[in-house]
Structure 1
Amino acid sequence: TGPVIFSVILSICYLFVLLVSAVVLDEYAKTEGAWILSLVKREYSVGTVLECAIKCNIEPAFTCRSFMYVEKDQECLTIPANGKIESVLRRTSTSLYEKKEYLMECVNGIGMDYRGTKSKTNSGKTCQRWASKYPHKPKYALMTPSTHPKADLESNFCRNPDGDSKGPWCYTTDPDTRWETCNVQNCSEECMHCSGKNYRGKISTTENGYTCQHWNAQKPHNHGYIPSALLEKYLEENYCRNPDGDPRPWCFTTSPSKRWDFCSIPRCTSDPPRVVEELTCATGDGSAYRGTIGVTASGKACQVWATQTPQQHNRTPDNYPCKGLELNYCRNPDHEKMPWCFTTDPETRWEYCKVPSCGDVPGPDYAAPPPAEEDCYVGDGTDYRGMVTETISGKRCQSWSSMTPHSHNKTPQVFPKADLRRNLCRNPDGDRAPWCYTTDPSVRWEFCSVNRCPTAPNIWSQMLSLILFSVDWLSDCKVGNGGTYRGPTSMTMLGVTCQSWSAQSPHQHASFTPESHPDKGMESNNCRNPDNDVNGPWCYTTDRNQKWDYCQIPDCAGLKCGQPVTKPRRCFGRIVGGCVSKPHSWPWQISLRTNTGVHFCGGTLIAPQWVLTAVHCLESSKRPSAYMVVLGTHTEGANEPSKQERKLEKLILGPGETDIALLKLESPAIINDKVLPACLPEKDYVVPPGTECYVTGWGETQGTGGEGLLKETGFPVIENKVCNRPAYLNNRIKDHEMCAGNIEGGADSCQGDSGGPLVCHAQNTFVLQGVTSWGLGCANAMKPGVYVRVSKFTDWINSQIKMNS
């Protein structure tokens, strides 16, 4: 029984350690890839993040507000600062842990434990530093950092060191006012500032008494506000939130008859977050612009925000109290691309305004036409101008001009030559590869899912490749982050030989050895990923000045659905207006033709013998012999040697009145680098709003050039809740349909594109999310295109293919 008792004791000890770790680390908010540069700090060498947290908790030299931990280096740094006091920087493989109590901007009880950063009193007076004796000497000379070391009397932040019943206070910098109470919100108070964009309370009942549906649920209402895809929106449980710029928080309801409803949340009595007003120019999307321009870019006069003629709207000063909606000045109250206004022209509801851009950037960051670049980078990727907007772990990139969820200084104004448009992956600061800030609040930044461009191999590497191939060597490519990589590469991306994992020279390490990770293939000095680093395999190096570095391991590639051999341009131009695709970069695009060879609709190859298109494309005849399909071409004339023609064996119309149809080819298409299926989505998946998707086709260009060549355009998905607003498509959109487009118009599918694909990019793959169906005109403002939502029909598609095979 001895070994059994010993095993039980070990298990209990292990569980106790896990419990202690969870309790201690729960006091901290963790952010990956973040670093605070602090002059005051203490460095420790510890084996675990728990040990580092304990060091911070008992730090004797200063009040420890946060710590940084580098697992690969077993390096721990405790600091007195946090992201509210000092700037947060980028750093590879570093985790920043900030004490939550110092991040809270509300008080419990009388606020003796308040450790926030408010430094103004109720009347707006600036607080005096606690250590200062001017203009007011501290009360009884006792309210100082030295006399109250546990009260956190640092800087000039509001505090309550003496237990004042009115809450936190401070001495003021006004000689006539010795001290005043600060207006700090109570943590238990359920209230919102402005339109409730930052509301994080727990109200989950609407103003009409409906219970809120959980955000991660898709019943009774299917929607695109998916918490895992919109982490920056804090869509927790079934709490009321405002993820789409409505006047106040809302939620989907649990009643099948009421899709969504506003929530009744009172306004906070404390001061709202301050905006640093921009009076003469606009930065980023111009949400801070408070200048006096009152005409649109085309010269139309702006309508006063408080009036309802000639345009009726809800962008009123009452609904948007913090957005500077004064008189008829151009503003951006709802997260548009730049300042705009309703116009006094009854025929033009609204337009953007021409507000000068702050700094040396010529106009808004999205206006420049996209460069036709390969989606691979040379060197360190400083000159990379591709269209990737996703990190190596699949996270969506944050816009460079946005300060949420991560505040930073890598803006188009600071780096005017770095092409920091939208949320495209770039390398403005000369890092080792293109990167971006992420929309995940807990992960500050990551390298992007972009491969290095192949270089011409020299004779020695060619000979080595032949030798390796002849002995059937392990595949030298990675899948995902390379956690399963067991290839032979043993050199870092900068050309330095790797140190053996079992060696302790030139670099000592204990966390990653063959003994500690026996199943990770660490027998030699080959690149591996024992800690599942999102950026891929790495190794300790033989360079004494560089402890470790990443390895350049290419992604494993092949003819897989949704992964074209020729990378698309992914252009944000327009089909109407002209943006010609790279030949064969959308290899699932087919041309649906009459049996005489005249193109009239598009379609998508989803399997070697199956095409998806729109029912309305088949109105002229329900006979398969009336049509033919052309694959593998770039030109509408279809004269390329790569062309494949197929007659149809069967037409299968979608269920009910839906605009979707399956076409069975008489014989399967030959899958190659120019003909490849798109991937089908998961059942009932709803694409999150703002997701970048692409439409292709040979449709109408309205005389703007490029006729006869395959064109493309990229634009964001619009959630059905927004698309059904009266000013958009006024409740015309059904659950089995979806909207996509720029609300200002200018990019859209058009006649001749019908039945073609709307594909969205995720995890290095294009997924068919929509079938081009209908729209009100082509590229009209506030009239986005409408597409059949393919995820609603995956069961039907699979059953029909199985039944008719």
Structure 2
Amino acid sequence: MEVHKAVILLCLFLFTGFLRCHSQSTDVLEAYIKTDGAWIVKLPKSQYTVKTVEDCAVKCNKETSFTCRSFLYIEKDQDCVTLPANSKTDQILRRISAALYEKKEYLLECVNGIGTDYRGTKSKTKLGKTCQRWEGTFPHVTNITPKTHPKADLESNFCRNPDGDKGGPWCYTTDPEKRWEHCDIQDCTEECMQCSGENYRGKISTTASGFTCQRWDSQKPHNHGYIPSALPDKYLEENHCRNPDGEPKPWCFTTSPSKRWESCSIPRCTTEPPTIVPELTCASGEGSSYRGTIAVTVSGKTCQEWSSQSPHKHSRTPENYPCKGLDENYCRNPDNERSPWCYTTDPETHWEYCSVPSCGDQLRPEEPVIPEGEECYEGDGSSYHGAMSETVSGKKCQFWTSMEPHRHSKTPQNFPAADLRRNLCRNPDGDRAPWCYTTDPTVRWEYCNIERCDSKPNCKVGNGETYRGPTSTTIVGVTCQAWSSMTPHQHASFTPETHPDKGLESNQCRNPDNDVNGPWCYTTDRNKKWDYCQIPDCDGLKCGQPAVKPKRCFGRIVGGCISKAHSWPWQISLRTRQKINRIYQPLFSSPSAYKILLGIHTERATESSKQERDVSKIIKGPAGTDIALLKLDRPALINDKVLPACLPEKDYIVPSNTECYVTGWGETEETGGEGFLKETGFPVIENKVCNSPAYLNGLVKEHEMCAGNIGGGTDSCQGDSGGPLICYSQNTFVLQGVTSWGLGCAKAMKPGVYTRVSKFINWIERSMKEN
């Protein structure tokens, strides 16, 4: 390994927080917000060749041709484009090599002091009058214009304070009887919330009872699944109060061991909340903008009025959710559910989803999509119709019908032939591969984690010195820098000229220095010079990486889809000797009463790949837990049909809404597929939500976790007990839960409960050593 690679690693280990190994000139970027994969086409513009992104920021700050509100930086070409536009004024387009940097001051919709530096887009006065354009002469001839005040940014008809008025920003009005008027714009220092505080970004970090908030990136004193890195669109910063899950107001976990979480006291803002474009006949995305008059659920039940507490008591009231259109008993989505819903007038049915037509979507978001044979794409992927909804770096895809967090024009209405269902990876515009917009506000779009059907074998022998496969992204999904390029990273030791026989012709991952850890590459991230790549072994199988890729269908076990044979090779069948059937009860008998079948797909177990083992010992988990280890009488033969899933990191908490999968031969309530291994995918539900009175009312313990669809219809069931809850991460399936218990099968408001495996890692390792 050459010296400069080791130096970079040293920097990573020694420095934390905001301290970086590169120049401290990055301070100039603190005034900007970055979005990867974003591009603005706007005239006028200025174009420069610069050495660094910081140099480009300086060009924007010193721009004299126009007011520079943002700039584009193309790192590969060291190209800098300064612009008078930003995401609030112009359409954002896709471009993989570009990053958009927007000045924060032009994105703020609040004022500092008297607001002479206000550069927002409010264009109405306190009394609701529309502002006149600053360069206009009707209905008022004005003496303050863009020419008389060139530095005041008197653009369009936006509220401004060009003359230092102590009352704050103002404008000339379009009312002939009222020459000018002040605008009602929130003070940046005012701590208040709009609506239910979903977009609250303030710094209050104390609860209503005075508890100090726990940091979101901490798991002490309370474990939780609201992980900032996994939920970037929720802005879970430091220990500030936030509302990531549809509560009536912002909240936080507390630093008191005796109080898990509590709401925060944040007053409502006096300014008008953001306006929405109401959808009256259909619902886009999750239906938060639906304002139609449908008031009947999918099963035909009449909806209960939102202002009523009979027959069902609830907190989704017009007072708690003032911006959600909770009028009468119409179907709505006030709390980020999958689609519009309502409480019902049936005392036996708390709530249900409604049959609201989708605006151009071919399927409602909750409907299962079970495509066959779609593990790869042909050509440019325009014909790909698979179920992948994850990008190369592991980011979740945004719904095509949604405009949050990224506004775009790639909708089902505009591209009716592109099969833009749900948030599934597609290629509507003839790009080189399937892609999607991401749910990360800082990354507009990425290509999806799908291989071409005709790609070269993407595996390595040994340490991968001879690897010549197509992978060109690092283990965390960053694109590799071309070996012949010297930007963003200068290097001289590994180029096509110095190593002509090492396959360094493009930017694919290679191992020119015989690194024992495998192929690597220089990265296009200027903050990280190089990194390893995720290349599977050709001559050996790894945990959690099945040879047959699963469907990963988002359906249900109860009424679900049949798995592809041997796509979940860690699934075993535990049976009793007296009667060969599924086990429904805890392990009370002696080890000799059981046998284990591996490598099977059907309950009949007639496959030639079947391996049968006896149980020599049962090691039960700690008191009060529902987990056990079974020791086999002899080792299982690991092959492409028998392979373990990976274990999670100790105490790891799966982030809220992570899509995980369960498999089993359990009860399907006569929905078909009996006798074959079935699978389903559904989201993890944070224990805070799962333990609320409407759901499992405090029954879920810290060493347990919930998963399922709140509306029901998807669950593990009898006979699936002890089966795996598998979550996908970085091309690997990890055993995060063990099917434990539930109140019925696939019932609304009653998600399944699973033993949280990460809480038992020490016990598992100790038990294996001692036995």
Provide the TM-score with structure 1 as the length reference. Answer: 0.86
1:592/1:629 contact within 8 Å kept? yes
Amino acid aligned to 1:481: T
Amino acid aligned to 2:553: C
**Aligned partners of 1:628, 1:666: CA distance in 2, in Å?**
10
Amino acid aligned to 2:728: H
> What is the CA-CA distance between 1:28 and the residue it aligns to?
1.1
1:70/1:95 contact within 8 Å kept? yes
Match among 618, 643, 646 for residue 587 of structure 2: 618
**Aligned partners of 2:488, 2:347: CA distance in 1, in Å?**
69
Match among 511, 532, 540 for residue 487 of structure 2: 511
Aligned to 1:580: 562
1:481/1:533 contact within 8 Å kept? no
1:584/1:632 contact within 8 Å kept? yes
**Aligned partners of 2:288, 2:474: CA distance in 1, in Å?**
41
Match among 702, 706, 710 for residue 739 of structure 1: 706
**Aligned partners of 1:714, 1:337: CA distance in 2, in Å?**
15
Q: Which residues of 2 match residues 669-684 of structure 1 at below 5 A?
A: 669-684=636-651
Amino acid aligned to 1:775: G
1:371/1:386 contact within 8 Å kept? yes
Aligned to 1:526: 505
Aligned to 1:119: 123
> What is the CA-CA distance between 1:555 and the residue it aligns to?
6.1
> What is the CA-CA distance between 1:367 and the residue it aligns to?
2.2
1:194/1:272 contact within 8 Å kept? yes
> What is the CA-CA distance between 1:52 and the residue it aligns to?
1.4
**Aligned partners of 1:484, 1:253: CA distance in 2, in Å?**
32
Q: SS of 1:170's equivalent?
A: strand
Q: SS of 2:561's equivalent?
A: coil
Aligned to 2:468: 476
Aligned to 2:295: 294
Q: Which residues of 2 match residues 277-676 of structure 1 at below 5 A?
A: 277-359=278-360, 361-367=361-367, 369-454=369-454, 474-477=466-469, 481-482=473-474, 501=484, 511=487, 516-519=491-494, 523=498, 524=500, 526-528=505-507, 531-533=522-524, 558-596=540-578, 598-601=580-583, 616-619=585-588, 621=589, 623-676=590-643
Q: SS of 2:759's equivalent?
A: helix
User: What per-residue deviation string (whole Å, max 9, x for no partner) do you get for residues 735-771 of structure 1?
Assistant: 1111100111111111111000000011011100110
- CA 1:165–1:455 in 2, change beyond 3 Å: closer, same or farther? closer
Q: In percent, how many aligned pairs have the same letter?
A: 66
Unaligned runs of at least 5 residues, structure 2: 1-18, 509-520, 526-532
Aligned to 2:724: 757
User: What per-residue deviation string (whole Å, max 9, x for no partner) do you get for residues 91-123 of structure 1?
Assistant: 011111111111111100000000111112112
Amino acid aligned to 1:528: N
> What is the CA-CA distance between 1:482 and the residue it aligns to?
4.5
Q: SS of 1:76's equivalent?
A: strand
> What is the CA-CA distance between 1:127 and the residue it aligns to?
1.5
> What is the CA-CA distance between 1:456 and the residue it aligns to?
9.8
Amino acid aligned to 2:58: I
Aligned to 2:657: 690
2:482/2:507 contact within 8 Å kept? no
Q: Which residues of 2 match residues 787-802 of structure 1 at below 5 A?
A: 787-802=754-769
Amino acid aligned to 2:740: S
- CA 1:42–1:96 in 2, change beyond 3 Å: closer, same or farther? same
> What is the CA-CA distance between 1:554 and the residue it aligns to?
7.6
> What is the CA-CA distance between 1:347 and the residue it aligns to?
1.4
Q: SS of 2:117's equivalent?
A: coil
- CA 1:743–1:797 in 2, change beyond 3 Å: closer, same or farther? same
> What is the CA-CA distance between 1:522 and the residue it aligns to?
6.5
> What is the CA-CA distance between 1:420 and the residue it aligns to?
2.8
**Aligned partners of 1:526, 1:87: CA distance in 2, in Å?**
37
Provide the TM-score with structure 2 as the length reference. Answer: 0.90
Q: SS of 1:268's equivalent?
A: coil
Amino acid aligned to 1:167: G
- CA 1:645–1:342 in 2, change beyond 3 Å: closer, same or farther? same
Amino acid aligned to 2:746: A
- CA 1:708–1:483 in 2, change beyond 3 Å: closer, same or farther? closer
**Aligned partners of 1:447, 1:245: CA distance in 2, in Å?**
30
> What is the CA-CA distance between 1:395 and the residue it aligns to?
2.4
**Aligned partners of 2:663, 2:623: CA distance in 1, in Å?**
27
Q: SS of 2:582's equivalent?
A: strand
Unaligned runs of at least 5 residues, structure 1: 1-14, 458-464, 486-491, 502-508, 535-551, 603-615
**Aligned partners of 1:433, 1:134: CA distance in 2, in Å?**
52
**Aligned partners of 2:648, 2:378: CA distance in 1, in Å?**
33
- CA 1:197–1:473 in 2, change beyond 3 Å: closer, same or farther? closer
1:46 partnered with 2:50: yes
> What is the CA-CA distance between 1:296 and the residue it aligns to?
1.8
User: What per-residue deviation string (whole Å, max 9, x for no partner) do you get for residues 377-406 of structure 1?
Assistant: 111112222333322122232233332222
Amino acid aligned to 1:709: F
> What is the CA-CA distance between 1:43 and the residue it aligns to?
1.3
- CA 1:666–1:34 in 2, change beyond 3 Å: closer, same or farther? same
Alignment size in residue pairs = 726
1:80 partnered with 2:77: no
**Aligned partners of 2:495, 2:701: CA distance in 1, in Å?**
50
**Aligned partners of 2:263, 2:469: CA distance in 1, in Å?**
51
Aligned to 2:140: 136
- CA 1:172–1:512 in 2, change beyond 3 Å: closer, same or farther? closer
**Aligned partners of 1:413, 1:722: CA distance in 2, in Å?**
35
User: What per-residue deviation string (whole Å, max 9, x for no partner) do you get for residues 540-577 of structure 1?
Assistant: xxxxxxxxxxxx99866551100100000111121111
**Aligned partners of 1:675, 1:386: CA distance in 2, in Å?**
26
User: What per-residue deviation string (whole Å, max 9, x for no partner) do you get for residues 57-97 of structure 1?
Assistant: 11111001011011111211111000010011110111111
**Aligned partners of 1:770, 1:16: CA distance in 2, in Å?**
37
**Aligned partners of 1:617, 1:449: CA distance in 2, in Å?**
39
Q: SS of 1:781's equivalent?
A: coil
> What is the CA-CA distance between 1:305 and the residue it aligns to?
0.5
- Higher mean C-alpha displacement, 286-295 vs 738-747: 286-295
**Aligned partners of 2:129, 2:680: CA distance in 1, in Å?**
52
**Aligned partners of 2:716, 2:33: CA distance in 1, in Å?**
44
1:289/1:331 contact within 8 Å kept? yes
**Aligned partners of 2:555, 2:273: CA distance in 1, in Å?**
39
User: What per-residue deviation string (whole Å, max 9, x for no partner) do you get for residues 241-261 of structure 1?
Assistant: 000000000000111111100
> What is the CA-CA distance between 1:334 and the residue it aligns to?
0.7
1:59 partnered with 2:63: yes
Q: Output the aligned Cα RMSD.
A: 2.7
1:366/1:421 contact within 8 Å kept? no
> What is the CA-CA distance between 1:285 and the residue it aligns to?
1.4
- CA 1:88–1:645 in 2, change beyond 3 Å: closer, same or farther? same
**Aligned partners of 1:595, 1:676: CA distance in 2, in Å?**
24
**Aligned partners of 1:181, 1:792: CA distance in 2, in Å?**
58
Amino acid aligned to 2:148: T
> What is the CA-CA distance between 1:440 and the residue it aligns to?
2.2
> What is the CA-CA distance between 1:441 and the residue it aligns to?
1.9
2:116/2:162 contact within 8 Å kept? yes
Aligned to 2:197: 196
**Aligned partners of 2:592, 2:131: CA distance in 1, in Å?**
82
Amino acid aligned to 2:761: T
